[in-house]
């Protein structure tokens, strides 16, 4: 199986296990952004400084965790 086929199988399996209709609705949009990101150039000026890159990624991850913590539980809870 090709990489894209394996990837499709992975996401299909997640959807089957989860059974969350919101995820089913959102996944195609998320996948587009993930795929686009995979093919963007991976090196930027900031990434040439590993210490700075690590600090930036930690800040980004903290922001994401805070944002996820504010999401309503209802739509994202198992059904």
pLDDT digits (tens), the chain, 79 positions: 687 788 788 878 877 787 777 777 777 777 777 777 777 665 555 567 888 888 998 998 898 888 877 877 766 555 5
10: in domain: yes
Residues 25, 58 share a domain: no
- Give me Rg for the CA atoms of the chain: 16
Residues 51, 27 share a domain: no
Q: Is 43 left (phi over 0), alpha (psi -120 to 50) or beta?
A: beta
7: in domain: yes
Q: At what angle do helices 3-18 and 21-38 cross, to 10 degrees?
A: 160
What are the Cα distances from residue 22, in Å, to 16, 29, 45, 65, 77?
13, 12, 37, 19, 10
Torsion of CA 50, 34, 40, 64, to 10 degrees: -40
Overall pTM surpassing 0.75 (yes/no): no
Residues 49, 62 share a domain: yes
């Amino acid at each position: 199986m090709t990489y894209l086929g394996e990837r499709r199988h992975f996401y299909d399996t997640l959807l089957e296990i989860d059974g969350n209709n919101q995820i089913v609705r959102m996944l195609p949009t998320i996948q587009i952004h993930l795929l686009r990101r995979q093919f963007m150039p991976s090196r930027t000026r900031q990434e040439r400084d590993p210490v700075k890159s690590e600090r930036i990624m930690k800040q980004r991850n903290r922001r994401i965790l805070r944002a996820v913590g504010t999401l309503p539980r209802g739509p994202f809870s198992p059904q």
